[in-house]
Structures are given as C-alpha cells and as structure tokens.
Amino acid sequence: MGMMQGKVALISGGAEGIGAATGRRIVAEGGSVVLGDIQIDKARALAAELGDHAVAVPLDVRDLAQWEAAVQTALDTFGKLTHLANIAGISEPGAVPDVDLDSWSRTIDINLGGTFNGCRTAIPAMAASGESGAIVNIGSMLALRVGAEFAAYCASKAAVTALTKTIALDCAAKKLPIRANTVHPGAIRTPMFERYLEALPGTVEEVEAMFAANHPMGRVGEAVEVVNAIVFLLSDQASFTTGVDFTVDGGGHFRS
C-alpha cells in the first residue's frame, strides 16, 4: 500500500517543477490529485498522463473564487479533499530601496496571499472529510537565512513559515486532525531555477556554481529531493509532526 493510498490532494503550481513532481508521486503512492495552475494546458497534459486519479483546474492563487472552484472540483471528482500542497510561487530579485513596487506586491500576493487563500479554502473541506489530513506549504532556505537582494521573496516566505505555525496550532486547538508543516528548499533544479540560469550575468555554468556555493553540500538540489519531504509530511508516517520547518537545502540555511 502506498504512502498516500486513498488520499486526495489539491496542489497549487501543479503544472511543472516541484508541483508536477509532487502530483506524480502522490498518484504513484495511491492517491488522487487536483492540479491547480495558471498554466492550464500543461496541467491538463499532466493530468491526462496520470489518468483517472488526476484532474487539472485553472488556478490563479490570488483569486479566492478559483480556489473555491478547485476545492469543489476535488469534492465533485473524488468525493473529498484530505490534503493540500501550496507549491505555487515566484521569485524576483530586488533589495528594499530599489525593488520594483509591482514586483513587491505581486510576490507577496502570490507567495503569501496565495498560500493563505489555499489554506482558508481547503481547511473546511478537509475537516468535513472526517479523515486525517495535512497541509504542506513551501517556504525557502531564504526564509531562514535571508539574502539582501531578494527582499520580497524572503519576506513572503518568512511570513509563510509563521502562517503555517498558526494553522498548526489552530487545528490542534480545535481538535481537527489536520497537520501543517513548511518545507524549505534551497536552490532546486526546476523551471524557475533554469530561468535564473539564463537571466543572471555569466555563463550557465558560472551561475549554477554560484548557487551551488550557497549550499555546504556543494550542489543544487533536485525536485525529487523536495518531493520526498513533501510526501513524507503529507503522509501518515508524519502523524505526530506539525508546525515544523523541514529544510531540504543542503545545509544552506546555516552556512558560514
């Protein structure tokens, strides 16, 4: 029996990268997934690949109505919602004195507001399932050890960390069998990372070496390494774990 047997998870950012890899893994572990993403064609292609245990929905995480529709799709398609993985996010550079204000607002709205919207919408449906459930929100190594040139990203991910702990405490106080934890990736080989490789000065090899140097293990991570942590925390194997900061960053958050 798989780690996610019979579970139903809603995944934001489910079309590519860590979100897509999480969807594949949950289905492989016996669960079903609703893949939410603004890249709806990619999400639908992945859902078709995964078969009857997957469905795709358009999801701009800033839009509460789209979250409500995504939750309803889970209920209509699979009869329940038991798990949530808030993976959608953006990263744009900028220090406080010079960050583009639209970029600041967009980053906060997507990374923090989107996570809030997902939890606000999903928790009542998860509680109504009558089953144990779990939420995993994606933070960042930079939530724990900030970088000056990523003000909005660091602030949004640090706030997600605190938000997750409030959810963990609230669910426990209300005797809801819902756990909430944060996974903090370092630099991970995803489409977002590939865009940074192309955008920053220097060759691709030089830029990757720069990112790798921020991790004591001397490399960037792979999506599957983050997925391993996400699925563990979603699964019943982590049944007594809530409110934690689970780092998958090669030691980057405590580098010297």
Instruction: Report the CATH number that the domain containing residue 222 is assigned in CATH.
Output: 3.40.50.720
For residue 1, being part of any structural domain is answered with no
* Residue 189, strand partner residues: 222
Tokens (6 digits) for 45: 């292609």
Active site residue 196: no
pLDDT of res. 13:
98
Residue 200's domain spans which residues? Answer: 8-249
Q: One digit per residue, pLDDT tens: the chain, 256 residues?
A: 899 999 999 999 999 999 999 999 999 999 999 999 999 999 999 999 999 999 999 999 999 999 999 999 999 999 999 999 999 999 998 999 999 999 999 999 999 999 999 999 999 999 999 999 999 999 999 999 999 999 999 999 999 999 999 999 999 999 999 999 999 999 899 888 888 777 778 787 888 888 888 889 999 999 999 999 999 999 999 999 999 999 999 999 988 6
pLDDT of res. 212:
82
pTM: 0.95
Encode pLDDT of 64-76 as tens digits: 999 999 999 999 9
For residue 255, being part of any structural domain is answered with no
For residue 256, being part of any structural domain is answered with no
- How many structural domains comprise the chain? 1
Amino acid at 108: I
Instruction: From residue 37, give the alpha-carbon distance in Å to each of 16, 40, 66, 244.
Output: 9, 6, 10, 26
| Catalytically annotated residue among 153, 193, 211, 246 | 153
For residue 2, being part of any structural domain is answered with no
For residue 3, being part of any structural domain is answered with no
pLDDT of res. 251:
92
SS (H, E, C) the chain: CCCCCCCEEEEECCCCHHHHHHHHHHHHCCCEEEEEECCHHHHHHHHHHHHHHEEEEECCCCCHHHHHHHHHHHHHHHCCCCEEEECCCCCCCECCCCCCHHHHHHHHHHHHHHHHHHHHHHHHHHHHCCCCEEEEEECCHHHHCCCCCEHHHHHHHHHHHHHHHHHHHHHHHCCCCEEEEEEEECCEECHHHHHHHHHCCCCHHHHHHHHHHCCCCCCCEEHHHHHHHHHHHHCHHHCCCCCCEEEECCCHHHCC
Tokens (6 digits) for 117: 């919207």
